Amino acid sequence: MTADNSALLSFVSKDKTNSYEQPEWKVPKPCVICGELFLPYQKRSVVCSQDCRLVHVANNNRARWQPKDHPETNCIICNTTFKPRQKNGKYCSTSCSNKRLRTVVVDCLACKRVVRRNAHGSRDAKQYCSKQCAVDHKVAINEEIRALRRIAENNKPKAVVNTCVLNEIRAIKRIARAARVSKSCKHCGEIVYSKYLLLHPNCRKEYEKTIRLAYRQKYKHTEVYKANKKAWRNKRKALERGAKVAENVNPDFILERDKYRCYICGIKTPKKLRGTFEDNAPEVDHIIPLSKGGLHVESNLRCACRKCNGLKSDRVYQLI
């Protein structure tokens, strides 16, 4: 059983339709063809029926194609006076139009031949025998014009200029050209008249020295420099103590490798106690002492606490 949807439907009552206001143009008016009154369907309606509409359209077309009032003229073929339909009409009828000359005798301006050509051809049909002659003749005319222009340009009176002024102008241009490619020296600040140089030859050594010193000052504050300095210091001390072989080994690397644990007693050696006098302060020890022929290399270095390192002294760990 379907639901009752009648309440959803809305119908227009008769009272509403009767109260609808008609537009101003919805009033009876006479037909332009038969003259009878009719109620227009659209605002632009002017006829009452289809028959009247066909008659109205035919009248408009006939009025559109009626000949305009042009002045009378004589036909160029039969010399008859007629009233043309077009503004520049020349022929009184189609038969006279068919009798017109379709070719003309042309005296070619290029090759001087007399030929007969179509009168309704290209623009050069009444001057040249062919299109190639027209192109060649126009090219020759343009070349003569250019030659005459060159002759006129060369024959112009030249202005008299002092040679000293010309030399000064050339010198100014040369200086301006050099100034466009010149740069200031990085060391002394004076102009370098060169496209590729940034320094004077005399300033190069001093500039490199200052740059090198500035780089060193900046490099000394880096962690890499500090680590390398520790390695160089330990290497120098090992060589002073009689080591035959010494490498640049950073002591912090040895302590981090052994995780800050003594290889003799196994206790933890905190990093914050590095450089103190505590018993568990971390130190770097040679397994084979340098006095016994040991080497200052990574494989011979271990992390040891300060107490064990002092007790071990210059003995081998396995012999303690």
Residue 224 token pair: 């890499």
Backbone angles phi, psi at 38, to 5 degrees: -145, 160
Average pLDDT over residues 28-36: 93
Report residue 318's pLDDT band, with 50, 70 and 90 as the boundaries. low
Rg for the chain (alpha carbons), in Å? 58
DSSP-based three-state secondary structure for 238: helix
Give the per-residue pLDDT at 65.
65
Average pLDDT over residues 236-250: 91
| Range name among 75-79, 139-143, 182-186, 205-209 with the lowest pLDDT average | 182-186
Backbone angles phi, psi at 86, to 5 degrees: -105, 165
Q: How does pLDDT run across 47-78, given as a tens digit for each residue?
A: 999 999 999 998 888 777 666 778 889 998 89
Give the residue, 47 or 86, on which the prediction is more confident: 47
Give the per-residue pLDDT at 253.
92
pLDDT at 12 over 60: no
Residue ranges of the chain that CATH labels 1.10.30:
223-319
Would you give the DSSP letter of residue 65?
T
pLDDT at 316 over 90: no
DSSP-based three-state secondary structure for 270: coil
Interacting residues of 26 by C-beta distance below 8 A, sequence separation 6+ = 39, 40
Report residue 115's pLDDT band, with 50, 70 and 90 as the boundaries. confident
Backbone angles phi, psi at 268, to 5 degrees: -75, 135
Residue 297 · residue 245 · CB < 8 Å: yes
Backbone angles phi, psi at 302, to 5 degrees: -140, 160
* Ranges of H-type helices in the chain: 14-18, 50-64, 94-98, 131-154, 163-181, 204-219, 223-240, 251-257, 306-312
Give, in words, the CATH class of 223-319: mainly alpha
Average pLDDT over residues 185-199: 75
Spatial CA neighbour of 71 closest among 83, 88, 60: 83
